[in-house]
Amino acid sequence: VTMVNQEFPFSNKGTAAADKQYTFRISPAYISTFLDMGIDIATLANNHTLDFGRDALLDSLDTLRESNITYVGAGEDITRARETKYMDVKGKNIAFLAASRVIPVPDWNATSTSPGLFTTYDATALIEEIKNAKDKSDFIAVYVHWGIERDSTPLEYQRNLAKQYIDAGADIVVGS
């Protein structure tokens, strides 16, 4: 399984976020690069997925779906954004979850009526999802976007959160 952190929307829509130094967006035509690379799953839970707004996010979701690339960490609403995705790998059921602890504004959070991201500033919801996946999977992979740009050593809060995720049932916690 090849998983990536997709820090951009696949879209030609939207307007760049006004208060961000860097905003990223890529034409949906470039999904071919993901296909050429053999990408199976992408996490969208990060600080660039909504750089060009909700329409660009929805375009990105459609582009990934149409290309049969699974995604986690974002969705049309909070239910879909926090949804665990499962893959059968050599007879093992692998669960994938993703959340961000780096978003520029609270409006990027998915809600019951609004597209957005699954975040983990409060670990409760992600821990709940991990626990729900325990009985349905052989292995749980959790991907979290967090930390300080260019820091190469995890901060204490990251270690504490990772331990909570592992105690809840995660087999691996990947942070970026």
Q: Over the stretch 14-71, which tens digit does the pLDDT of each residue have?
A: 999 998 999 999 999 999 999 999 999 999 999 999 999 999 999 999 999 999 999 9
Residue 73: the pLDDT is 98
What average pLDDT does the segment 84-94 reach?
97
> Beta-carbon neighbour count of residue 19 at 10 Å?
8
> Beta-carbon neighbour count of residue 148 at 10 Å?
10
* SS3 readout for 41-59: EEECCCCCCCCCHHHHHHH
pLDDT > 90? residue 159: yes
